[in-house]
């Protein structure tokens, strides 16, 4: 079923790119959009840094028209600071503000931000209410099942946050204590998605890697959308593969080498435009390493690709890869 988040219209079974620190910058988002991601999110942005005017964090707020729909995600533990950060983020004209109540990283969660909020629900609710009231665009939340197996609070959280006025909820089927271990448990996600009291879209997240398991999870758990994180790293074409499978039941093969070269060039171009010279190149290295993973006898060329600091040289190396492995 199609649905809306605020004024953003989604078709059947949309796929959302998960916010990922150091990954979902503007250039990676651009590539995922090319491959059909229906909604994009920035990396999480620390509210304290926005309020303290830290320049690096402001660049994370920048989005382009072509990306829409796109959400800016913020996190923090101080309610006033988060409200101010949401107002600042709104000035960058995202389609929505997403609040991160799921990050399990110790230095964030132990200070009460991210998934730390799952241990202090009154504060979570007050923060969300104030942010909803402070901005005109839709506010959404991304969180986990609970703090640990003793504190599974997501059903209560979903209802309360809906009441407060969030426009969608993304649930990663792990607790904070699980970090990224084990497998994402979708049972509760499905229960909430099918609860008649829940009217807002529920986006399921965790461990969706293949077209088959995306389809199976849509069908079994009845979520409005699926959010994909790690499976897109190094494989942004996963969106195209899943969409094609959902539509036709047919598995598209992995892109061939020439498509990977084309994507590498485009990704590099975007990264250079956005981050400039050397930083744009540094950011690309992890992607290059994954795009060409598994090529036989690749060690030497790989080393050159991952150490070059010159765009022209990288372009020549990409041509060499194409020639060598075609």
Question: How distant is the alpha carbon of residue 309 from its chain centre?
Answer: 28
Closest approach of ligand FMN to the CB of residue 63, in Å: 15
Report how far apart the first and last C-alpha atoms of the chain are (Å, whole number). Answer: 42
Closest approach of ligand FMN to the CB of residue 157, in Å: 15
Nearer to ligand FMN, 179 or 303 (CB): 179
Gap between the Cα atoms of 297 and 200, Å rounded: 51
Given the rule CB under 6 A, which of 192-200, 205-213, 267-275, 294-302 is the region that contacts ligand FMN? Answer: 205-213
Residues within window 217-246 making contact with ligand FMN, judged by CB under 6 A: 228-231
Nearer to ligand FMN, 113 or 318 (CB): 113
Closest approach of ligand FMN to the CB of residue 104, in Å: 9
For residue 181, give the nearest of 290, 100, 104 by alpha carbon.
104
For residue 53, give the nearest of 86, 26, 88 by alpha carbon.
88
Residues within window 43-102 making contact with ligand FMN, judged by CB under 6 A: 43-44, 73, 100, 102
Gap between the Cα atoms of 302 and 289, Å rounded: 7
**Pair type for strands 8-10 and 3-5:** antiparallel
Q: What number of chain residues touch ligand FMN (CB under 6 A)? A: 21
With CB under 6 A as the contact rule, the residue among 5, 15, 23, 70 that binds ligand FMN is 23
Contact characters 251-270, ligand FMN, x per CB under 6 A: --------------------
Catalytic residues: 103
Given the rule CB under 6 A, which of 146-154, 206-214, 271-279, 295-303 is the region that contacts ligand FMN? Answer: 206-214
Residues within window 95-114 making contact with ligand FMN, judged by CB under 6 A: 100, 102-103
Q: Rule CB under 6 A: which residues touch ligand FMN?
A: 18-21, 23, 43-44, 73, 100, 102-103, 142, 172, 205-208, 228-231
């Amino acid at each position: 079923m199609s649905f809306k988040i605020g004024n953003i219209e989604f078709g059947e079974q949309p796929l959302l790119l998960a916010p990922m620190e150091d990954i979902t910058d503007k250039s990676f988002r651009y590539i995922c959009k090319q491959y059909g991601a229906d909604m994009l999110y920035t990396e999480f942005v620390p509210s304290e840094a926005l309020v303290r005017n830290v320049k690096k964090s402001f660049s994370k707020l920048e989005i382009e028209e072509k990306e829409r729909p796109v959400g800016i995600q913020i996190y923090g533990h101080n309610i006033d600071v988060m409200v101010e950060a949401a107002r600042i983020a709104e000035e960058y004209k995202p389609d929505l503000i997403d609040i991160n109540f799921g990050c399990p990283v110790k230095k964030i969660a132990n200070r009460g931000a991210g998934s730390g909020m799952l241990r202090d629900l009154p504060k979570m609710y007050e923060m969300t209410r104030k942010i909803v009231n402070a901005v005109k665009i839709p506010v959404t939340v991304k969180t986990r099942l609970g703090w640990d197996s003793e504190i599974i609070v997501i059903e209560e959280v979903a209802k309360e946050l809906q009441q407060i006025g969030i426009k969608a909820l993304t649930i990663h089927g792990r607790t904070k204590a699980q970090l990224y271990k084990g497998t994402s448990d979708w049972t509760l996600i499905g229960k909430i998605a099918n609860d008649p009291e829940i009217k807002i879209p529920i986006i399921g997240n965790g461990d969706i890697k293949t077209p088959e398991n995306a389809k199976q999870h849509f069908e079994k758990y009845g979520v409005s959308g699926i959010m994909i994180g790690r499976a897109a790293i190094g494989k942004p074409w996963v969106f195209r593969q899943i969409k094609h499978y959902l539509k036709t039941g047919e598995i598209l093969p992995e892109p061939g080498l020439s498509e990977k070269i084309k994507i590498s060039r485009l990704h590099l171009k975007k990264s250079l435009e956005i981050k400039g010279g050397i930083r744009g190149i540094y950011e690309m290295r992890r992607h290059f390493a994954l795009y060409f993973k598994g090529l036989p006898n690749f060690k030497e060329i790989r080393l050159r690709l991952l150490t070059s600091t010159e765009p022209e040289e990288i372009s020549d190396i990409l041509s060499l890869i194409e020639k060598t492995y075609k």
